[in-house]
Amino acid sequence: MEMPIVALVGRPNVGKSTLFNRIASERIAIVEDTPGVTRDRIYTHAEWLGKQFRLIDTGGITLEETTLNQEIKSQAEIAIDEADVLVMVVDARVGVVKEDETVARILYQAKKPVILAVNKADNLEQRQDIYEFYSLGLGEPYPVSGVHGTGMGDLLDQIIKTFPDDQFVDEDPAIRFSFIGRPNVGKSSLVNAILGEQRVIVSNQEGTTRDSIDTSFVDNFGQLYRMIDTAGIRKRGKVYENTEKYSVMRAMQAIDRSDVVVMVLDGAQGIREQDKRVAGLAHEAGRGVIIAVNKWDAVEHKDQKTMQEFTDYIYQEFRYLSYAPIIFVSALKNQRLAKIMELVTAVYENQHRRIQSALLNDLLLKATAIAPAPIVKGKRLKVYYLTQVSVGPPTFVAFVNDVELFHFSYERFIVNQLREMFDFTGTPIKIIARTRK
């Protein structure tokens, strides 16, 4: 499913990041439970009244060697290209200033929904004294306080009103996959090499409204695939090239639209911090993950141990991706490219694997015999039964006597038992604890 993207835009020091954290606080608290996932984020999932969306804080984007006005303009332009809904943030204490007018003019031409959030309206007087913001020409101002949380409900109500009602309708029969990773790891070379391997291209079609083109093709066995384009928007010179975090935004969009993502690493350069950031997004989104080490032909002084050593290195750096298969390829030499498509298909099937409740509860009996549930504060956890509730990723509900006793270590134990008994290679597994009534 493709989530709507909401971007917070505005000049510096109006409280965009505070607002971002306020909107996304609950969600971030959940995802940060995962070890190894970076905390340096300007984007996250958010939810309001059952509607999910991606949230971007443009305040987190820094652009080198630019004047303040150029930076404001560049950030606004990035948000316009990326987002479906734009939230312009201004400061109730300061009032309208020239930079606000600059941002408003850019957003006014965007032809996308723009909502005006008057932040730092911390008391009644400030909430009432917002009429001057009508002069920006962006409609009704919504007074909010990112620090105290007042007014957030009205703002979020207005944001989700702009979402299309059918945003999650998806009857795509194709297996959708994408190559993600930092620039220059060889994603484009892999795409071209795979498409060049005797495949019939069905169509090239627009993937989103952001100038991306998806390629649909059928393999030799008649399976339909849709390769999600991560190129996204046209670059505007150094502004985009210098913004590492901007390429992460593009990966984020591709992940949302994919069933399976192929995380591409550079075998000659090893793992970088941005690799972890992008891989963390795929894991959090619950997508199937394959790790492809490209440019393996360029690695010097290889012997029979090199591949295993690099595999151990990857799993050490990406502890939360221990379920992801690793493949060593070369787009340049056409090495092991057919194996990528085999893995994409296998991981997709594992993502959509359903297990009967009777088999799950047999597993549960054996698991509790191996390792009885722990005692916490004098009370023993009881797991009554396990049932699968959804796929993509496989999601299970464990009915227990007290959810507070269901510690993450025991959850991980059950996940490991599931992996031992059933083939869930390449897919995360989610377990939700519920107290049995």
Residue 40 has pLDDT above 80, yes or no: no
Residue 47 has pLDDT above 50, yes or no: yes
pLDDT, tens digit, 9 for 90 and up, residues 173-217: 789 999 988 777 888 788 888 887 544 555 555 444 344 567 888
* 181 annotated as ligand-binding: yes
Distance CA 310, CA 69 (A): 45
Q: How far is C-alpha 131 from the chain's CA centre?
A: 38
Residue 327 has pLDDT above 90, yes or no: yes
Per-residue pLDDT, 242: 46
Residue 36 has pLDDT above 50, yes or no: no
Average pLDDT in the chain: 80
* 10 annotated as ligand-binding: yes
* 242 annotated as ligand-binding: no
* 428 annotated as ligand-binding: no
Residue with tokens 């484009």: 188
Q: What is the 3-state secondary structure (H, E, C) of 190-250?
A: HHHHHHCCCCEEEEEEECCCCCCEEEEEECCCCCEEEECCCCCCCCCCHHHHCCHHHHHHH
Residue 409 has pLDDT above 70, yes or no: yes
* 231 annotated as ligand-binding: yes
* 350 annotated as ligand-binding: no
Q: Both ends of the chain: CA-CA distance in Å? A: 33
Q: Mean pLDDT, to the nearest integer, of 364-368?
A: 87
Beta strands of 49-91 (E only): which ranges? Answer: 51-57, 85-91
**Six-digit token pair at 275?**
């690799």
Residue 152 has pLDDT above 80, yes or no: yes
* 235 annotated as ligand-binding: no
* 188 annotated as ligand-binding: yes
Per-residue pLDDT, 119: 92
* 185 annotated as ligand-binding: yes
| 4 contacts 289 by C-beta, under 8 angstroms | no
Domain ranges of the chain: 5-161, 175-351, 357-435
Q: How far lies 423's CA from each of 69, 419, 420, in Å?
A: 54, 6, 7
Per-residue pLDDT, 141: 93
Residue 359 has pLDDT above 90, yes or no: yes
Output the CATH code of domain 175-351. Answer: 3.40.50.300
* 427 annotated as ligand-binding: no
pLDDT, tens digit, 9 for 90 and up, residues 302-316: 777 888 999 999 999
Per-residue pLDDT, 134: 92
* 228 annotated as ligand-binding: no
* 186 annotated as ligand-binding: yes
* 161 annotated as ligand-binding: no
pLDDT confidence band for 30 (50 / 70 / 90): very low
The architecture that CATH gives domain 357-435 is 2-Layer Sandwich (3.30)
- Other Cβ atoms closer than 10 A to 172: 11
* 187 annotated as ligand-binding: yes
Per-residue pLDDT, 198: 43
pLDDT confidence band for 324 (50 / 70 / 90): very high
Per-residue pLDDT, 68: 57
* 333 annotated as ligand-binding: no
Q: Which residues of 392-409 are buried (b: 16+ CB within 10 A; e: fewer)?
A: ebbebbbbbbeeebbeee
Residue 322 has pLDDT above 50, yes or no: yes
pLDDT confidence band for 234 (50 / 70 / 90): very low
- Name the more confident of 197 and 375: 375
Q: Model pTM greater than 0.75?
A: no
* 233 annotated as ligand-binding: yes
* 237 annotated as ligand-binding: no
Percent of the chain with pLDDT over 70: 80
pLDDT confidence band for 423 (50 / 70 / 90): very high
**Six-digit token pair at 2?**
């493709």
Q: Is 388 exposed, middle or buried (0-12, 13-18, 19+ CB in 10 A)?
A: middle
* 153 annotated as ligand-binding: no
- Name the more confident of 403 and 212: 403
Q: Mean pLDDT, to the nearest integer, of 151-172?
A: 78
Beta strands of 349-429 (E only): which ranges? Answer: 375-376, 379-380, 383-390, 395-400
* 336 annotated as ligand-binding: no
* 294 annotated as ligand-binding: yes
Looking at residue 144, the DSSP 8-state letter turns out to be -
SS3 302: coil
* 48 annotated as ligand-binding: no
Helix axes 187-195, 337-351, angle to 10 degrees: 90
Per-residue pLDDT, 26: 44
pLDDT, tens digit, 9 for 90 and up, residues 56-115: 877 655 444 456 556 666 666 776 777 889 999 999 988 999 888 888 888 888 889 999
Q: Mean pLDDT, to the nearest integer, of 48-63?
A: 73
* 229 annotated as ligand-binding: yes
5-161 and 175-351 have identical folds? yes
Per-residue pLDDT, 222: 82
The architecture that CATH gives domain 5-161 is 3-Layer(aba) Sandwich (3.40)
* 36 annotated as ligand-binding: no
* 334 annotated as ligand-binding: no
Task: Name residues whose C-beta falls within 8 Å of residue 313's C-beta, 6 or more positions apart in sequence.
Answer: 270, 271
Closest of 61, 57, 35 to residue 46, by C-alpha: 57
* 208 annotated as ligand-binding: no
* 14 annotated as ligand-binding: yes
